[in-house]
A = this chain, B = another copy of it.
Amino acid sequence: MNVINIDLGDRTYEILVGENIDLVQSLNGIVSDFRVAVIVTNVIVAGYHLDRVRNSLARIFEDVRVIELPDGESHKSWDSLNNIFNSLLSWQCDRKTTLFALGGGVVGDLTGFAAATYMRGIPFVQLPTTLLAQVDSSVGGKTAINHPLGKNMIGAFYQPQLVICDFCTLSTLPDRELRAGLAEVIKYGPIADIAFMEWLEQNLNAVMAKEAAALAHVVQRSCEIKAWVVSKDEKESGLRAILNFGHTFGHAIEAGMGYGVWLHGEGVSAGMVMAAELSRRLGLVDADFVRRLISLIQLAGLPTKGPVLDANDNAGRYLELMRIDKKAEAGEIRFVVIDGPGRALVRSAPDSLVREVIDACCE
């Protein structure tokens, strides 16, 4: 088992990366009150992992409760959040109750936001079960729900007490979800570590075959890069925005298609191609780099073209959706672009150029 530290002053915490990690031992010194644990999960994940987690927690908590949500991005909503509040209040949970987010990004973001806002904040632990959650969403304290007018529009920065990335959960992960998680893994290369991109080019098959050593390296290195970025800029006043490489276009795809039709990682994949192509047209990277990124995304079985969101004015629809991105300022969309391999920056671009990119990258 490896330990990665997220250094955030009095909100510092650890990410544990390994296989079959002992949950009981891991919570030692992390949780201070062992009366009530509440596991928030979804119906699919519960079938695979709930018994194991519940049994472990029952060894140290007096009372272990479970909230099972429906599966899917469309349930990352106020209704689900309110379901959690209703349960916590009806069980008379107090400020010392610890929430455990057992699931992927939806469960983690939603549970984290519930923890951030129930009685103005209670402790929570992330138990990510998908690759996407292990390499990205469970780390760094971004919590949120979706609003009909935009993804992750309502949320808070709120750090967990601990994140446990256990590969044992990845064995039951459907292939499509594994691939979607790889999008967030692939992202780290172009923005921060070109050697990691090279490693992926050589080892992606081993990762997709879920070989333990390969998964270990992927989760470990991704968490290290994310921890480094988040420690430098917790609340995204600057550097942290580079983690959204591919996400500006990707969020537009997700929203435009209806949440859940394209998985987040699928939207981000097509979005990374668009962002790389935009970088090329801005003169920041060459065509070889764009082709290289496209090849890696293809190798992962992920989309390299965006969907047509509007047959009459596709680029216009993308632009409209992107203007409500959280990075936008004064209606000006901010893009994460690659400023040479392994280095990213955030900037705006002329609408006309963005339109050309969208036209070239959709089908």
Given the complex, which residues of B lie within 8 Å of A150, measured CB to CB? 89
Expressed in whole angstroms, the Cα–Cα distance for A149 and B94 within the complex equals 13
Q: Is the interface of A mostly helix, strand, loop or mixed?
A: mixed
Given the complex, which residues of B lie within 8 Å of A328, measured CB to CB? 92, 94
Expressed in whole angstroms, the Cα–Cα distance for A119 and B327 within the complex equals 9
Given the complex, which residues of B lie within 8 Å of A94, measured CB to CB? 326, 328-330
- Bitwise, A156-176 to B at CB < 8 A (1) or not (0) is 110000000000000000000
A142's contact among B78, B120, B331, by CB below 8 Å, is which?
B120
Q: Are A331 and B156 in contact (CB under 8 A)?
A: no
Least CB distance, A353 to chain B, in whole angstroms: 21
Least CB distance, A14 to chain B, in whole angstroms: 22
Q: Which residues of A51-110 are within 8 A (CB) of B? A: 78, 82, 85-86, 89-90, 92, 94-96
Nearest B residue to A334 via CB reads: B94
Q: Are B330 and A154 in contact (CB under 8 A)?
A: no
- Bitwise, A306-331 to B at CB < 8 A (1) or not (0) is 00000000000000000110101111
Nearest B residue to A120 via CB reads: B155
Expressed in whole angstroms, the Cα–Cα distance for A238 and B94 within the complex equals 15
Expressed in whole angstroms, the Cα–Cα distance for A236 and B157 within the complex equals 19
Given the complex, which residues of B lie within 8 Å of A78, measured CB to CB? 78, 82
